Amino acid sequence: MSVRLVGMETTGKKGTAFKPGPGAKFLIKLNELEAAQGVAIVGHRLEPFRDSSTPTEKIVFEDAGGKVLRQRLVLMDAEEALQFFALYGQLRMLPRLMMEDASNVEAFQPGHTPGGNRVRIFALDLKAIGNGVGPAAGDYLTVTMLDAGGTRFKVEALPITQFDTTLTGPWRNALAKAFMEVFATGEPSLNPIELMARAYQAAGPLVVGSPGGAYSEFFNDSGIFGTFWWQGAPVIWDKNTTPEAVAKKMDTAYSSIIDDLSEAELSALKELAVDFLESGEDYDDDFHSLAGEYGLSVDSSDIELFLTVELSQYSTMTKLTRKALRSDEVLRGYVMERAVDRALVGLRLTGIPESGAKALRAGALEAASDILDDFDLSIIKNPTINNLREALVDIYERFLLWMRTRREGLAFVSEYRQEELEKKLTKMNELLNVSYMLNEPEIPTDELVKELLKPGSTGLAEYWETLGELESILPSRRARTIPERGRISSRTVLTRQGYEASRYRYELEVVLKGSKPRIYRTLLIPGNRTLADLHRCLQDAFGWENYHLHEFRFDHAVFGEPANEEDRVFIADDIVSLDDLAFKVGHKIEYVYDFGDDWVHSIKVKSRDKLEGESAWTSLCVCVDGARAAPPEDCGGIEGYKEMLAELEPSLFASGKKKIQWDPESFDKEAVNKKLARR
């Protein structure tokens, strides 16, 4: 005999039914996550009082004055969300999450979803019941049924300080006694809610008239429950029963673990199974598993996207063949490095330890090599598709950078912007899905792809707009204004400008590549200074005039202030400090100034000293050593510099050195330090 849940009426094995009426009460206890967001997650909390056939969003909640309270979908980590659905049992948790929002299935697929494994679940906004101040963690909500059908409830705040603790003992005792009666006279159930309903029915009016706690507290603390297994599914029953006895009763009551599922739950479970089969076919992604260990949202499909773009660009310059793709190590190395750099953009800023970053890069390169071995060159034969794919992947790379530089802030998005954030992330997920479709040999027939391929389509502009809106929802974590005229290095000034205390002071040896005799400077730079600050320091130290663009290259990443026409993805250098990059002794960085003359400066970390107390704020940028003047601006790069030096040498056909208003041997450390003192 199987159990059926029909509306509010929960029928047990003995034929009884739990039919609470208006006035029945129960308590919900808020945890820290809910209190922080000012919401109460609905989940399993209304069971077994609610009408199970009514969708959560259709259930009406009112405050003490009869005002309807607002429900909204909130974004939450999937693992955290499961705790609010645990009482449905292992078999029902995922279907119930899907019934909250169909897109939740994506969080449990073996594939990749931008933003991590986040789900959307219904929550009750609590500000209206607390005079604008939500209840605190540990406080209760008193929930009262307003109708016999289980579709309307009154919700009132019950601070823990006002909770009548004398109710706890009688309530727990009555509930424990009821469960013991169920254990003694009934049969186990695959549905923990049905078991709960039978106990409430046996307990009588006390448990629903004067609740002395939340059911979750009783379930976790009573010590009467045990977990048993039948056909691979968990069964909650009397902990003093033997597994053999439980299995025997289950064999009598059920023929299959799905016997007890409602039609809606069964439908959701079937859909989940189909999605898993479709997305997980031959899915064996070691790189994705490794990235998951570090909380990084990336997998081999991303690597393949970036590889495809790099190969399509390469194919415009030279003919690609399968033989070359398999055997040309230079070609393979180039496209693999480029694709992995793009897929792991911003990795240095995620806080992942250096050992983890190296492992991720090695895993990504291995995945790229495997993909190239079997790459289908027909995918990149259509120039129109290639152009669209390239444009989409460019936006996606910038989205990955946004996500990784703001991964801490994603957990603290203000609640009134959560719904907006959810919509933008969904739009980015749409972009990714379209990109995947373009990586098929045949032109996709999907309507969205057709629309994007139409001349004059605004689809790409919409994706760019979405990316900009994400930036407005969660701006750069530390966008600092770099003063042109300098500043005083003090706690007050630097704090006002958005800086943190320095952890270290770094000794940097900076050499202009190709210069003979060597042009160099040795600088001491506090760790809270950004790369944009370091750019200014290098301009001062070498005597450059800051006429041109610049960039820093470090650990497969590029930092700078790109021009509007720049199509490469830069990490803004004014949001990244030297401490953020966790420089160690021996690390090397390149600084390039003037992309025409191409002045490349090699920077090596010679030492780092820990800063503490006020010195973490007051340490200055200092030049401690150096030699020779930097070449004049716009002199033609290192070759032009050499020609200028040659012109200064005595000639057989000239009476002496040519007079040029520039002394290559001059270096005024004192003048340099006057400038650096304001950095």
Is 274 among the domain residues?
A: no
pTM recorded for the entire structure: 0.59
What is the reported pLDDT for 7?
28
Average pLDDT over every residue of 232-252: 85
Nearest residue to 508 via CA among 576, 573, 588: 588
What is the reported pLDDT for 259?
67
Is 267 among the domain residues?
A: no
For residue 501, what is the DSSP state?
Answer: P
Q: Name residue, tokens 């609640």.
A: 415
Residue range 509-520, pLDDT digits in tens: 999 999 999 999
- Looking at the structure, tell me whether residues 551 and 617 fall in a common domain: yes
What is the reported pLDDT for 281?
46
For residue 169, the tally of other CB atoms under 10 A from its CB is: 11
- Looking at the structure, tell me whether residues 436 and 566 fall in a common domain: no
Instruction: Classify residue 231 as left (phi > 0), alpha (psi -120 to 50) or beta.
Output: left
CA 494 to chain CA centroid, Å, is: 29
By residue count, the chain amounts to 679
Residue range 96-113, pLDDT digits in tens: 888 888 777 777 665 544
Is 88 among the domain residues?
A: yes
Q: Where are the alpha helices (DSSP H) in 192-234?
A: 192-203, 205-209, 215-221
Is 283's pLDDT higher than 60?
A: no
The three-point CA angle 116-120-124 to 5° equals: 140
Is 465 among the domain residues?
A: yes
Percent over 70 (pLDDT), the chain: 85
Q: Name residue, tokens 């990443």.
A: 557
And the tokens for 375? 């790459």
Of the two residues 273 and 308, the one the predictor is more confident about is 308
Of 415, 443, 477, which one is at a domain's C-terminal end? 477
Is 273 among the domain residues?
A: no
d(CA 658, CA 649): 8
Is 364 among the domain residues?
A: yes
The sheet that has 17-18: what strands, in order across it?
A: 5-6, 9-11, 17-18
**Do 119 and 81 meet the contact criterion of CB atoms below 8 Å apart?**
yes
Q: Which residues span the domain enclosing 290?
A: 284-379
For residue 39, what is the DSSP state?
Answer: E
Number of compact structural domains in the chain: 4
Residue 539 neighbours by CB under 8 Å, 6+ apart: 545, 546, 593
Residue 297 neighbours by CB under 8 Å, 6+ apart: 112, 113, 114, 115, 116, 291, 400, 403
Is 484 among the domain residues?
A: no
What is the reported pLDDT for 4?
22
Long-range CB pairs of 124-127 (<8 Å, 24+ gap) are 124/39, 124/40, 124/41, 124/42, 124/61, 124/69, 124/70, 124/71, 124/155, 125/38, 125/39, 125/69, 125/70, 125/71, 125/72, 126/38, 126/39, 126/40, 126/157, 127/38
Of 346, 379, 412, which one is at a domain's C-terminal end? 379
**Do 550 and 593 meet the contact criterion of CB atoms below 8 Å apart?**
yes
And the tokens for 73? 């979908």
- Looking at the structure, tell me whether residues 121 and 30 fall in a common domain: yes
Nearest residue to 571 via CA among 581, 556, 582, 561: 561
- Looking at the structure, tell me whether residues 342 and 208 fall in a common domain: no
Average pLDDT over every residue of 261-281: 62
And the tokens for 26? 């129960």
Q: Report the CATH number at residue 597.
A: 3.10.290.30
Average pLDDT over every residue of 168-182: 95
- Looking at the structure, tell me whether residues 372 and 401 fall in a common domain: no
- Looking at the structure, tell me whether residues 414 and 510 fall in a common domain: no
- Looking at the structure, tell me whether residues 471 and 497 fall in a common domain: no
**Do 398 and 431 meet the contact criterion of CB atoms below 8 Å apart?**
no
**Do 382 and 312 meet the contact criterion of CB atoms below 8 Å apart?**
no
- Looking at the structure, tell me whether residues 498 and 393 fall in a common domain: no
d(CA 311, CA 390): 11
Helix and strand counts by DSSP (H, E) for the chain: 23, 20
What is the reported pLDDT for 567?
63
- Looking at the structure, tell me whether residues 72 and 158 fall in a common domain: yes
d(CA 73, CA 63): 19
- Looking at the structure, tell me whether residues 188 and 73 fall in a common domain: yes
- Looking at the structure, tell me whether residues 322 and 186 fall in a common domain: no
Write phi, then psi, for 62 (nearest 5 degrees): -130, 155
- Looking at the structure, tell me whether residues 393 and 458 fall in a common domain: yes
3-state secondary structure of 231: coil
CB-count burial class (<10 Å; 0-12, 13-18, 19+) for 496: exposed
pLDDT range class, residue 119, cuts 50, 70, 90: confident
Is 293's pLDDT higher than 60?
A: yes
d(CA 75, CA 7): 28
d(CA 108, CA 627): 60
d(CA 664, CA 519): 9
Of 349, 379, 409, which one is at a domain's C-terminal end? 379
Average pLDDT over every residue of 335-355: 89
Residue range 48-98, pLDDT digits in tens: 999 888 888 889 999 988 899 888 888 888 878 888 888 888 778 888 888
And the tokens for 598? 């191409």
**Do 627 and 641 meet the contact criterion of CB atoms below 8 Å apart?**
no
Strand partners, 526: 505
Residue 252 neighbours by CB under 8 Å, 6+ apart: 187
